[in-house]
Structure 1
Amino acid sequence: MFTGIDEVDWAALRHAYGTAEDVPGLLRGLASPDAAEREVALDGMYGSVHHQGNVYDSTLACVPFLFALASRPEVPDRGAIVELLVSIGAESAGPRARAAVRAGAAAFVPLADDACPGVRRAAAGALVRFLDGPARVLALLRRRIAVERDEQVLLALIEALGLLVRRRPAQAAGAVALLAAQSGPPYAPTARLAALGQLGLGAPERLPGDLVPTAVRLLRERSERRAAGGDRVDTDTLVGRIRRLRPSDEEGSYLLRTLHRALDDRVADRIALLVGQLSSPDPMDRCNAVRMSAGLFRGWRADFTTPVELIGRQLGRGQDQLRDAAVSVLAELFGLAAPAADELHALVTVRPDLWVRTWERGRPSLSGPLKALARSGDPRAVPALSQLLARPVAPAGLGFEIAHLGPAAAPLAPALRRRLGRIDPDSPRAAELAAPLLAALTALKDPVAVPEVLRLLRGAPDGMGAREALVGQAVRALDALGTAARAAAPVLRGLLDTRHAAVAAGALWSAEGEADVVLPVLLRELTLGRSRGARTAAGQLGRLGPAARDALPALHRLAGSGRVGERTAAAEALWRIGGDPEPVLPVFRTAWSENPCTRGAIAGCLAAMGPAGAPLRDLLTAELATARRHTARPGGFGSHDIAQDERLLSDCRQALASQ
């Protein structure tokens, strides 16, 4: 196994943490009869030699020895070694690594028939990824699948067939036929579900017309078989209670993810699949469905009333993991969580211990059920929020969630003001503590809050960082309070030569309405060349309307040459000041396609333009007809993405109605 290992100059090779002198010890550790030593060695291989999927010269030097280890039956845990080889040869690791593994790919052929199921499972995908000749690979998979009795290996073989279909579509007919056969009787439900998922990914035309009811039926049959086989026994024991509280089924979760990925934009089918899963008697099936629903809700637009109602019903089932998963999904839905509001309110009522999440370090935070109820806009959240505001230490960010309640949160205004009044503006944490309270009072437009906001503004020290942020927060709050903030005018004038000039000018305009004071300031900020400052100044100039006509030339220049955000803000200001759609609509049309993040502002302006915005009606109708959310993006998501997209849809409908 280790012939030649001492002839390699490992000291001259490198891995993630420097010299590779320790690599021979790791390789020998993989063959140790001691399980703990093997685990440490494998951890070292992934931790340094193949750190985070990277490939080093020492990684390449290990490949022949890893093949030798994988081929020796006396070596334990060889499946993990094969998986390591597959990872090293992944396309993302680069052509050299891939070539090194492909050079030894013939070794995977006997491993596909190995006595160890873990080795056979890992070898199945390796055949497709590294062995030349798709016909040969298909023959190997076909022969193995006909005799395989281990369910996990069978699933790996089915996944390998799907991978072959996607990688070699021109030679995929035989693999597709084999998958189609595996997707029907007399095969077991798990294998059939796996085959349906792979068909959906590579040959959707071969899916049955009754895919969703078939999948739901198979999922339930799978659950029944699992329960009958003793995998889940509901006993009145500690283990039984833990099992009920923490349902776990990684295989089922993977099968469901694959089906959803295969269905992709068939949103109605995906909703029907979720409804079937959420109606299952098996808590593990329901928990998997709740988790899968998050991706559907984030990525697509549809009527989700039924699945949201069913997710709400999971809150009272007595299973902690299921409840927590449901709450996590509902908290991202904001107004779309309304069909589950009754269940959220019931949970908040009977479980006050779930209102707050505590941490080992830092302030407590608002927990999921109450957050979801408040974000849905349900006024029944107010009593619980009132109790939290009365505590000596309120949850961090509480005011941000209160803001979603709008006028319904008016009874909370006195408590919000009292908490704001206890903040020391000279404290390093002043901005952190004030921001959520100011957000709530701003949403409420509470004029009684002016003295406390002004106190913070006057007391905020000069300088940068978190303390400086307090000034911006306080000024924005005063801006929202309009003429009620007239008493703050002298302080706002004192900010017109600071980095807060644009927002201070806007607040001063709201308080006093004197264009001759704020217009020169905004013109200066518009032309200073700072992107964010110019964008803010353009927005404030638009609020002045015709009183800002002197800014039209500078706004025209910005609308024609700035970044997309600046161009959009400048074009909106042009309309609000001059009322001429001709220079505005081309900028909007370009920005709409160039950056989806501008669409909310554009749709809002088009609603204000009324018939003048009709030439862009096609953009609005196309947006409303698009099933994909404009916030959807590969590889990430934001907690407010759904709310932002729903707001855009509302603005588009309003704009169309105004035309």
Structure 2
Amino acid sequence: MRGMMDGLSAVDWAALTHAYGSAADVPGMLRDLAGGDRKALDDLYGTIWHQGTVYEATAYAVPFLVEMLAAPGLEPDGVLGLLADIVDGASYLDVHRGFLPRSQRDTDEVREQMTTELDRVAAAGRAVAAGTPAYLQLLATHPDDGVRVAAAHLIGVLGPAGAGEAGAAALREAVARDGSGAVRAAGVLALGGFEEHVPEALTDPLPLPRLVAALVAGRAAPPVDALTQVIERDAPACLRLVDRLPGGAGNALAWVATALAPHTGTQVRLLTAWLSHADGAVRETAAHAVAVPLHTWRPAAAALVPALVAAAQDPLAAVRLRALRHLAGAGRAAAPAADLLWAAVTRGREPAEPRSPDHRPVAAAALTALARLHDPRADAHLATLLRARPPALAHLADAVAALGPWATRCRAAIVDAIEAVPAGYDRARLIRAAGRLGADPRSLVRVLRRQLAAHPHAAGMLLGDLGPPARAATRDLTALRASEDPTRQRIAARALWRITGEAEDLLTVLRGQLRDHHALETLAELGATAAPLAAEVKPLLDNDYEWLAVHAAAAYWHLTGDATPALPTLLRTIDCVPWGVVTVRTLAAMGPAATDAIPALRAERESPYRRPRWTDEHDVIAEDEGWTAICHHALSRIEGRTTGTWPDVVLPEPARQP
């Protein structure tokens, strides 16, 4: 140990860097860890390995970590885990390159930095591989099962390039002779890193090695029936064993389902079986694990709904709740379960539900699902809630957002409720919903005039959307136009244009705000009337800020009718995120001029995998279905098959202002 400390002093740590700058503090962390301080391990995870990335100092620290494995009193499993994570680490720039401004991603400076960082990643990996004899020794002789499991995992991560044939041989020996089922399972899993399957492990006397052997064997191709039967039988027996493996999770069946990707049909088959298992703990675990295929594979929703309907009537409240949540988030596939969802609405909160202000009750989730299905019961129920004073709308923002012209019972109720809720986002949501419902313009205008001061964005935009029927608000909007705030000026000028048809003042406002994507959105509405501003918009097509570039492309097309300059921007931004919605809407408006977008739109529409990113779990399927619908609509417009209206669907949206 003293020799190791001497070696630490020989490294110029201050000249090296880690995730937070100078690595001068690394020797202290290593000394503390060698002395048995487990907090030092967390500190090293935050510096020489940070959220999956490794740094210049990492390779220099690794030999000391390897030497520590033999230190008396140290628990080596944590150090082995850190070393394995270092081998799997990436460079910071490699992970974050996509977050750089687009114009900087491929510069000489970035490429040079990437090369330097990747060299450091490779050096760290070589440093870990140099410690292979120590890992082999721990796997063969350490008395603690957890240490042997961690050693097997590290050898598997190193693979043939790092641990060589000696590593594979040691793993085979562990699988054949180790007395611990967890170690044998870890060995089977690690041999998968060497592209080796272990058929004899399928007959191991314990379920965990058998389960892992079946998963490894089924990784390359859809598991045959015999392997699927092993997984179906043994996974329930491993509910509390999987977490002994590196990478094991609290939900064993979710871990199994994830390991089976991309064999989604097998995932669905197994989870369906486990949802009706005799053991309630298995059913509860499966009810959570259903999210794995449900939120990744488009056909999974329809395939799983029958099993979820049965699970929603399970004797265990935890199973019922989770099944109902999945049904509420299953999109159109949940239509056959509408009566079950309605029963959840009328039953209200289940006794077993957590009472957290951030936790949406299952009744609210069910009502949102029914509203998205345009079920008239949701319309009637929400109308009743809106008429209460104050309106009983806790947890119902998504249900209100799903209201549209179909919700005739809510039209008058929602206008009356606007001023009965506190000012802020709740009131703004009701204002926007009133616009979508097609409420009576006269009563709506009276309310909106009173709300302009507190909610200029929501009220002003809706007054503009109403157009000439909002003429009574002209004086109020003229006063708002006199504001010194640019946003209020733009909203008021837009509304006055939509009401009066006079565009000159709006053009004056927009000319000074062209680097604001909201202004570009309004410019697109003006269309050819704003054509003189096209030359100022065109340079924004290459802007690094995607929001600005996409709205510039939309505006340029609507101003000029010329698709050629705008298409490159639009083609690179077809993605299921808020700016992608603007892109697809613009491509649909272009029609046949957007022919170059057909392959990308078809790929988005026809992919078997869900596309949304950056969304809450309960909206994944709804947003994916909405995304598919608008891509289909755009394709129909481009291919000249329809000029229909824009679909009324759930889509990724940016945060809205009140």
Normalising by structure 2, we get a TM-score of 0.73
Paired residue type of 1:406: G
Which runs of structure 2 are paired with 1:491-502 in the superposition (5 Å)? 491-496=476-481, 498-502=486-490
Which runs of structure 2 are paired with 1:185-264 in the superposition (5 Å)? 185=203, 190-201=208-219, 204=220, 207=221, 211=224, 213-222=225-234, 225=237, 250-260=251-261, 263=262
Which runs of structure 2 are paired with 1:223-622 in the superposition (5 Å)? 225=237, 250-260=251-261, 263=262, 266-302=263-299, 304-353=301-350, 358-359=355-356, 366-375=360-369, 376-377=372-373, 378-382=375-379, 385=382, 389=386, 390=388, 392=390, 394-395=392-393, 398-407=396-405, 409-413=407-411, 415-422=413-420, 430-447=423-440, 448-457=443-452, 459-460=453-454, 470-496=455-481, 498-510=486-498, 512=499, 514-515=500-501, 517-522=502-507, 524-526=509-511, 528-542=513-527, 549-555=528-534, 558-559=537-538, 561-562=540-541, 563=543, 565=547, 569=551, 572=554, 583-584=562-563, 587-588=566-567, 591-596=570-575, 597=577, 600-604=581-585, 617=598, 620-622=601-603
Comparing 151-160 and 606-615, the one that deviates more:
606-615
Q: Partner residue of 2:70? A: 71
Do the aligned residues in 1 keep the contact of 2:461 with 2:491 (CA within 8 Å)? yes
Paired residue type of 1:109: L
Equivalent pairs, count: 575
Aligned residue for 1:71, secondary structure, equals: coil
Please give the per-residue CA displacement for 1:467-523, whole angstroms capped at 9, x wherever unaligned.
xxx31122123234444433222222333454234433443344x2x32x2344136
Q: Partner residue of 1:146? A: 176
Paired residue type of 1:494: A
Q: Quick one: distance in 1 between partners of 2:464 and 2:416?
A: 21
Please give the per-residue CA displacement for 1:520-568, whole angstroms capped at 9, x wherever unaligned.
41364156431314422223214xxxxxx34224336635752465565
Please give the per-residue CA displacement for 1:584-612, whole angstroms capped at 9, x wherever unaligned.
26634651344425554454456566677
Q: Quick one: distance in 1 between partners of 2:351 and 2:520?
A: 42
Aligned residue for 1:145, secondary structure, equals: helix
Q: Which consecutive residues of structure 1, in runs of 5 or more, have no partner in the other structure?
A: 31-40, 166-174, 232-247, 425-429, 461-469, 543-548
Aligned residue for 2:424, secondary structure, equals: helix
Give the direction of change, closer, same or farther, for the CA distance of 1:336–1:539 in structure 2 (3 Å limit): farther
Do the aligned residues in 2 keep the contact of 1:365 with 1:398 (CA within 8 Å)? no
The answer to whether the aligner puts 1:644 opposite 2:623 as a matched pair is yes
Do the aligned residues in 1 keep the contact of 2:139 with 2:151 (CA within 8 Å)? yes
Q: Quick one: distance in 2 between partners of 1:189 and 1:440?
A: 54
Q: Quick one: distance in 2 between partners of 1:292 and 1:151?
A: 24
Aligned residue for 2:255, secondary structure, equals: helix
Give the direction of change, closer, same or farther, for the CA distance of 1:101–1:590 in structure 2 (3 Å limit): closer
Aligned residue for 1:555, secondary structure, equals: helix
Deviation at 1:323, TM superposition (A): 4.1
* Percent of paired sites with the same residue: 25
Give the direction of change, closer, same or farther, for the CA distance of 1:622–1:11 in structure 2 (3 Å limit): closer
Provide the alpha-carbon RMSD of the alignment.
4.4
Give the direction of change, closer, same or farther, for the CA distance of 1:271–1:224 in structure 2 (3 Å limit): closer
Q: Quick one: distance in 2 between partners of 1:539 and 1:354?
A: 51
Normalising by structure 1, we get a TM-score of 0.72
Please give the per-residue CA displacement for 1:131-151, whole angstroms capped at 9, x wherever unaligned.
845222111111221113422
Q: Partner residue of 2:98? A: none
Paired residue type of 1:107: A
Give the direction of change, closer, same or farther, for the CA distance of 1:194–1:343 in structure 2 (3 Å limit): farther
Do the aligned residues in 1 keep the contact of 2:460 with 2:491 (CA within 8 Å)? yes
Do the aligned residues in 2 keep the contact of 1:379 with 1:405 (CA within 8 Å)? no
Q: Which consecutive residues of structure 2, in runs of 5 or more, have no partner in the other structure?
A: 92-119, 242-248, 644-658
The answer to whether the aligner puts 1:107 opposite 2:134 as a matched pair is yes
Q: Quick one: distance in 2 between partners of 1:585 and 1:288?
A: 53
Q: Partner residue of 1:239? A: none
Q: Quick one: distance in 2 between partners of 1:12 and 1:553?
A: 62
Paired residue type of 1:486: R
Paired residue type of 2:607: T
- Match of residue 608, structure 2, among 619, 622, 627: 627
Give the direction of change, closer, same or farther, for the CA distance of 1:391–1:66 in structure 2 (3 Å limit): farther
Q: Quick one: distance in 2 between partners of 1:355 and 1:588?
A: 53
Give the structure with the higher percent helix: 1
Q: Quick one: distance in 1 between partners of 2:471 and 2:341?
A: 41
Paired residue type of 2:367: L
Q: Quick one: distance in 2 between partners of 1:385 and 1:118?
A: 55
